[in-house]
Amino acid sequence: MVAVSAGAAVACALFAGTFDQGFKGYKQALASNRRNLYLHNLLRKKPVFPHGHMYRDAILGSIDARAIRRLHQGPEIRVLIACPPHWASRRVAMLLGAISVGVDTWGKETVHASTGARIGFKPLYLSVRECATPETLADLIIASSCVPPLTPQARRNGMDLFDGGVVSNVPADGVPHPGGETLVLLTRQFRTLPVVPGRTYVQPSQPIPVGAWDYTNDAAVQSAFDLGRRDGERFCVLLGTG
């Protein structure tokens, strides 16, 4: 399995058998969080954005040592991280990453967008099996979701790391070849889907009812989950497995 950003967190919780526990805790955290921006924290030298610590708490709330052992024994989960161009400073890399994501999201209807890669960002795939503790797994997932200043800057061997979506929001190319039949799960709608031998693309039946970085609306998150469950059930019926 190959995943990126929050998709990696969901994949780990599912295969660790702790999704229900983690989802419940995440919704409780959202229900108690009033804002996505706390400007008064500037004077207190505290995080202005609550996303980083809430994200980490949600991961650690569902992944313990037992869950790590289950993940090591289950199918390999590879997580995509974006490495910035070697010539770019941290601020330049942040700006380029934001521009590339904006171009790919709003500028064209391409499932496998590549603006970040053309700019010079490189993909780095790391296996969940390399994570020996819940804390190192949280570090890996947050690195794959790293969007400063919403999250703390992730680093590895002295290099800044960024959200893997900068190089590929749909990292199907990270599946080892020959990979047999591949199911590609999308989190947004496209007018047309690629036709690639050996791949089946599945997209939501309607727009996801919550923003990716809205950490205040637990009801919308539940609606997104309900949409996914309904779509998943319909897909299984079409396959003849439901």
Cα 171-177-179 angle, rounded to 5 deg: 80
Nearest alpha carbon to residue 174 among 236, 103, 112: 112
> For residue range 61-117, what is the model confidence (pLDDT) as tens digits?
999 999 999 999 999 999 999 999 999 998 899 898 888 877 776 655 788 887 898
What residues does 123 pair with on adjacent strands?
82
Which stretches in the chain have pLDDT values below 50? none
For residue 114, what pLDDT is reported? 78
For residue 18, what pLDDT is reported? 96
Contact 97/163 with Cβ under 8 angstroms?
Answer: yes
Nearest alpha carbon to residue 58 among 77, 31, 98: 31
Could you write out the DSSP letters of every residue in 170-217?
S-GGGS-SS--SEEEE-SS--SS----TTEEEE--SS--SS-TT--S-
For residue 108, what pLDDT is reported? 59
Is this model's pTM higher than 0.85 or not? yes
C-alpha span between 165 and 214 (Å, rounded): 18
For residue 28, what pLDDT is reported? 96
For residue 44, what pLDDT is reported? 87
